[in-house]
Chain A
Amino acid sequence: MADLPEALIDAPIAGQSLTSEVGGWPWEQPPQYSTVEETLEFYVPRLTEPTLQNELMDVIEMGLPLTTIANALQQGAVMQGTHSLDVGILVMPVIMEMLAYLAEERGIKFNMGTNVEVDDNPSGVAVKLALKKLKAKEGEPEEEPEEEIVEEPMGGLMSRRTV
């Protein structure tokens, strides 16, 4: 238990989502846009809007990776019920490329954020679970074999004698 990752401890309690009213959150409602094209039609005018574009370019100029910006944009839209999470993940590369295009148009150097190494190493818990599954698959008994019970000779006064 000591090597549990912190993220697991911070995770919501099982059943926490059932404590609020069903459909109370925007993401529990059907999304406003359900296709990639509709979602892009929602994003493109916003990204090219001068006010938002200036703010975005400031952030890009500061060196924030485009992956982070695109992720934040799509997660915000998911939370507002604009589109579903899967459509958001699908359109993220287009948002990143769009941001890169806008930055390049203005001559701003940008960090795509795709060169950062992703930690693909499994956590300690995952490794332990995998080992447990492997052992179960190989048919190794997890419990120690029972010791043979050696019958002790009865030594009482009234005990039957065996020849």
Chain B
Amino acid sequence: MNVAKIAYKNLEMSEAKPTPKSGGLLARDVSDKTDTKNLEPRKRVAMYVAELRKARRGLKDG
């Protein structure tokens, strides 16, 4: 059994959500992007993988 393959395939890649507008100039900006501590480890890992994929795409695109 290939554990790495299963772990990789079972990643829950969340789709990019539209960023909610903040309430005002002094409103707290607690969006998914900034509030990483409250996410589950699997979601945090998916976030890191998404970032690395984006960087890889950047390499391909030049």
* A interface residues (Cβ-Cβ under 8 A, vs B): 35-37, 40, 66-68, 70-71, 89-94, 96-98, 100-101, 104-105, 112-114, 116, 118-119
Task: Report if B7 contacts A (CB, 8 A).
Answer: yes
Nearest-Cβ distance from residue A90 to partner chain B, whole angstroms = 5
**Closest chain B residue, CB of each to CB of A115:** B5
Nearest-Cβ distance from residue B48 to partner chain A, whole angstroms = 5
Given A36-B41, A101-B59, A113-B2, the answer on whether A92 and B8 have CB atoms closer than 8 Å is: yes
Cβ contact within 8 Å between A89 and B3: yes
**Closest chain A residue, CB of each to CB of B8:** A93
Q: Which residues of B contact A101 (CB under 8 A)?
A: 52, 55-56, 59
- List 6 additional A-B contacts (Cβ < 8 Å) besides A112-B8, A113-B5: A71-B2, A92-B3, A93-B46, A101-B56, A113-B4, A116-B2
**Closest chain B residue, CB of each to CB of A72:** B4
Q: Which residues of B contact A67 (CB under 8 A)?
A: 2, 4-5, 8
Q: How far is the CA of A10 from the CA of B54 in the complex (A)?
A: 43
Nearest-Cβ distance from residue A24 to partner chain B, whole angstroms = 25
Chain B interface mostly: helix
* B interface residues (Cβ-Cβ under 8 A, vs A): 1-9, 11, 41-42, 44-46, 48-49, 52-53, 55-56, 59-60
Cβ contact within 8 Å between B44 and A36: yes
Cβ contact within 8 Å between B60 and A104: yes
Contact of B56 among A94, A97, A113 (CB under 8 A): A97
Given A36-B45, A101-B56, the answer on whether A118 and B1 have CB atoms closer than 8 Å is: yes
Q: Which residues of B contact A104 (CB under 8 A)?
A: 56, 59-60
Cβ contact within 8 Å between A97 and B3: no
Q: 17 interchain pairs (CB within 8 A)?
A: A36-B41, A37-B44, A70-B4, A92-B3, A93-B11, A94-B45, A97-B48, A97-B53, A98-B52, A100-B56, A104-B60, A113-B4, A113-B5, A114-B5, A114-B9, A118-B5, A119-B1
